[in-house]
Amino acid sequence: MYPTEGGSPTLLCAGCGTAGEENRGVTPPLVSWSRDGKLLYLHSTRTRQTYAVPLQPGQVLPALPASGIAVGEAQGAIPGARAIPHQRPFMSADPSVYAYPRVVTHRNIYRILIP
């Protein structure tokens, strides 16, 4: 992340970049914040996990290691981070309430005798 007022960048997530894959239709990892600014959401398309990371009042990022974090290790690397148990959640204002897609494939297979 680059500060808007200049300064050195902060490495948020180590190893979760997907350089070049956006040209192949792959969605890169997502970073978003809750509406109230109390949580940072990290999502990796590689691990298909989303983590809710608590933020201190007035902070945009949590305290991060200098090397950044790996999304799959967010729970161990950042105190208070927790995994959302469903893939690709759509978060609401309350972090305990979210929607997620449930994809089910149903096929009917028929045997047709051909004389």
107 in any annotated domain:
no
> What domain range includes position 51?
1-86
What is the domain count for the chain? Answer: 1
Asked if residue 17 belongs to a domain, the reply is: yes
Would you list the DSSP string of 34-70? Answer: -TTSSEEEEEETTTTEEEEEE--TT-SS----TT-B-
Q: Is residue 5 one of the residues assigned to a domain?
A: yes
Residue type, position 21, single letter: E
pLDDT tens digits along 41-92: 887 766 677 888 888 888 888 877 777 776 666 656 677 888 888 877 888 7
DSSP bridge pairs for 59 = none
pLDDT tens readout for residues 2-13: 888 888 888 777
- Segment holding 77, helix H or strand E: helix 74-77
Which of 28, 10, 18 is closest to 66 using CA atoms?
10
110 in a domain, yes or no? no
Q: Residue 14's pLDDT band (boundaries 50, 70, 90)?
A: low
Q: Is residue 111 part of a domain?
A: no
